[in-house]
Structure 1
């Protein structure tokens, strides 16, 4: 986890370079790329049968974004939806006074861009190299209308996101700085465990400034809390992340 702040994203979406979008191809055994996708089991498309995946596969483009590249900006037309297959996204809103509020981080398997509004309500950029399946929004909506089981899966995902948003509101308004940082790390541990990653070392590609903007804290406060937990041997700072040395203590703080 870097201790420095990222530069603000560009004012407009960078034009996609040639080759940044590729149509998925069938494998030599005739199966589609969807069937071998590493995030299928915990993504919304996990509810689809093989023939339905084939239909979805023909609608998708494989999108690749370099670190710090913008997928879309707040207020842009919501023409596309994305299913993240690798990397980490940062979602944020710019306040009228220019401050940035990070509303969340997306991991592989997360879905972004599908809403009732015709325009994106927040901006999204890649923290590290990101790959995603990109779908034309109108085509995807038409596909979902024909697949009630996929609609249920999307509804479940939206309900979960609403719960997470409500929990985050409580986190911002009613908890101490130490509780905020600890709770965030525990949440990341749970999400990474769901992806099959280690529950001990938490890779954090985002900067400490990102964490501060997400938790409603200052960069100095986040650094002070991490240093304090490291001195108490609750955490160990490792390259690009944190290792949980005392899970029970971290859970105790986070659940306060």
Structure 2
């Protein structure tokens, strides 16, 4: 009899279980996963919950630069020679996170082509998002940037359809992420609600009409002064 066929590597099962160089961690809302300046030697994968990325300038000003959710990695800069964390990551809701040491991550990427492909696809998608964010900041009004951010946070275009945006993502965080003031965000949110583009009662519910307004450059999303 021949040898039994080797079972295919299951990337999701690998990320969901404890193993060599790999632990499953739980963080409560408000807890930091790591701080800016900490030693960078671990990659993290979000199983459940959302993480906020913030950076602190030399002048002491803090700004939110990203929100990450289930299925996303963070801290992968250590794979490219990053010695210290360049941002602080904080749970904005209860989270379940897989922590993978740099050594274990490199070994898995080398030995498991399916995992390597999945991770590469993630990096390419993230890099495309960064490019789109840069274009958004350069050429679009803050109103359109807010509309696009709400669509991204509501998971428009992803499997499972749009989801309500957790109220823990406040207007100050939204303002940081699109480069405007909290008062402007409040003004735009009220405008979107009056136009029927969103419902805003605790959770933010984003409607298809907001997507149409962004894609087809509806007059309600004019350049702001």
Common topology (TM > 0.5): yes
Residue 249 in 1 paired to residue 175 in 2? no
Q: Please report how far the alpha carbon of residue 89 of structure 1 lies from its aligned counterpart in structure 2 after TM superposition.
A: 0.3
**Residue 196 (structure 2) aligned to one of 229, 233, 236:** 233
Give, in whole Å, the separation in 2 of the partners of 1:194 and 1:237. 22
- 1:61 alignment counterpart: 23
Give, in whole Å, the separation in 1 of the partners of 2:15 and 2:166. 33
TM-score, normalised by the number of residues in structure 2 = 0.81
1:54-88 Cα shifts (integer Å, max 9, x gaps): 99742322211111111111221112211101111
- 1:152 alignment counterpart: 117
Return closer, same or farther for 1:157/1:200 CA change in 2, 3 Å cut-off: closer
User: What root-mean-square deviation, in Å, do the aligned CA atoms of Structure 1 and Structure 2 show?
Assistant: 2.7
The count of aligned residue pairs is 207
Structure 2 spans left out of the alignment, 5+ residues = 1-7
Q: Please report how far the alpha carbon of residue 200 of structure 1 lies from its aligned counterpart in structure 2 after TM superposition.
A: 6.4
Classify the secondary structure of the residue corresponding to 1:143.
helix
Give, in whole Å, the separation in 2 of the partners of 1:142 and 1:245. 43
Q: Please report how far the alpha carbon of residue 180 of structure 1 lies from its aligned counterpart in structure 2 after TM superposition.
A: 0.7
Classify the secondary structure of the residue corresponding to 2:169.
coil
Residue 199 in 1 paired to residue 199 in 2? no
TM-score, normalised by the number of residues in structure 1 = 0.72
Residue 71 in 1 paired to residue 33 in 2? yes
Structure 1 spans left out of the alignment, 5+ residues = 1-46
- 2:9 alignment counterpart: 48
Give, in whole Å, the separation in 2 of the partners of 1:236 and 1:159. 33
- 1:179 alignment counterpart: 144
Q: Please report how far the alpha carbon of residue 153 of structure 1 lies from its aligned counterpart in structure 2 after TM superposition.
A: 2.1
Return closer, same or farther for 1:56/1:144 CA change in 2, 3 Å cut-off: farther
